[in-house]
Amino acid sequence: MREELQRLGELPAITDDIIATYEAQSIINHIGSAALPSRDDTIRILDVLFEILYPGYFGEQELTKSNVTYVIGHKVSNLYDLLTRQIYRAVRHECRRSGATCEHCMLHSEYVAVALLRAIPGMRQLLAEGIEAAYDGDPAAKSYGETIFSYPGIMATTVYRIAHELFIREVPLLPRIMTEYAHSVTGIDIHPGAGIGHRFFIDHGTGVVIGETTQIGDDCKLYQGVTLGAFSFDKDERGKLVKGHKRHPTLEDRVTVYSGATVLGGKTVIGHDSVIGGNVWLTESVPPGTRVIIEHPELIYREGE
């Protein structure tokens, strides 16, 4: 008992030691400035968007023709509030104007929030095509509903399409929080900056990496463990990495990349209608209609142990 009291008596001093480290300049402290975006609320935005994008599948499931206008109208209004608040926090964080609030950031946030809402009908068209591609492309798929409810490739691609809308409007922080949330749920790591065409399908998906400056055409298909990555990084005269230029490959229309394959480099273009085989390591362009496979390493068979 006495020792327990003694331990409790140490807590204020421990707190003081921790707070002392908050007072030093550090890149991991954010105290006394405008609040950063909330990761939880950013994920909540995705939840509400899934409910609007796939009506009857997520969230409120008992939608009828008589209640749909009210239910969705309410969700749209709620989404607008969530979006403006989180976009504001993100843009305010990078804005150099002083003052408690920034009117310019506020107007910009409202503008971007409305732009995202307006993009929903077009996004739904893209997503429906994606569901169809998943069902058609996977012999194990039993129904469209199964792919919507449970396919990680559908989840990751849906989140990517939402995050990309914010990325192209230069909203900081939120796009990457969104796609990394999808990465954590699905094992599929799509950078919000990538460009991805119609009827895209990723099967299984764990370990897929699609880098920031990747361009993917229509009707492409990836399997688990595929990397579309950077070949090497350029450094500036101070030895710091150069950011921003095209570092990741381009896939033209109707390209399939099988499991474990790696395609690297900003100048690498996989011509349309090509197939890249499992475990291929590719750092150069291939012309349209090419099938690239590897001589898999020869197997050595031994009896017993």
Q: Name the CA dihedral angle for 100, 102, 103, 106, rounded to a multiple of 10 degrees.
A: -110
161 binding a copy of itself? (CB under 8 A): no
Say whether residue 253 binds a copy of itself (CB under 8 A). no
Asked if 230 and 247 touch (Cβ cutoff 8 Å), the reply is: yes
Using only the alpha carbons of the chain, give its radius of gyration.
Answer: 24
Q: Is 265 in the site for a copy of itself (CB under 8 A)?
A: no
Q: Tell me the number of residues near a copy of itself by CB under 8 A.
A: 141
Nearest approach, Cβ of 184 to a copy of itself (angstroms)?
5
92, 161, 164, 183: which one binds a copy of itself (CB under 8 A): 183
Per rule CB under 8 A, is residue 8 in the interface with a copy of itself?
yes
- Residue 155 CB: number of other CB atoms within 10 A? 20
Residue closer to a copy of itself (CB basis): 77 or 97: 77
Give yes or no for residue 172 binding a copy of itself (CB under 8 A): yes
CA 269 – CA 177 distance, rounded (Å) = 29
What token pair was written down for 218?
């229509």
61 scored as a contact of a copy of itself (CB under 8 A): yes
Which residue among 98, 143, 236, 237 contacts a copy of itself (CB under 8 A)?
Answer: 143
Burial 20-38 (b: 16+ CB within 10 A, else e): eeeeeeeeeeeeeeeeebe
Q: Does the protein bind a copy of itself through residue 96 (CB under 8 A)? A: no
Alpha-carbon span 111 to 163, nearest angstrom: 16
- Contact letters for a copy of itself, residues 212-231 (x by CB under 8 A): x-----------xx-x-xx-
Q: Identify the residue among 43, 48, 85, 137 touching a copy of itself (CB under 8 A).
A: 137
Choice from 102, 177, 251, 257 touching a copy of itself (CB under 8 A): 177
Q: Which is nearer to a copy of itself, 216 or 282 (CB)?
A: 282
21 makes contact with a copy of itself (CB under 8 A)? yes
Q: Which two tokens stand for residue 200?
A: 């895209």
Q: Is 70 left (phi over 0), alpha (psi -120 to 50) or beta?
A: alpha
Nearer to a copy of itself, 97 or 125 (CB): 125
Q: Which residues contact 236 (CB under 8 A, 6 or more apart)?
A: 242
195 lies in the binding site for a copy of itself (CB under 8 A): no
Query: Site residues for a copy of itself, window 266-285 (CB under 8 A)?
Result: 275, 278-282
Two tokens, residue 35: 């609040």
Q: How far apart are the first and last CA of the chain?
A: 60
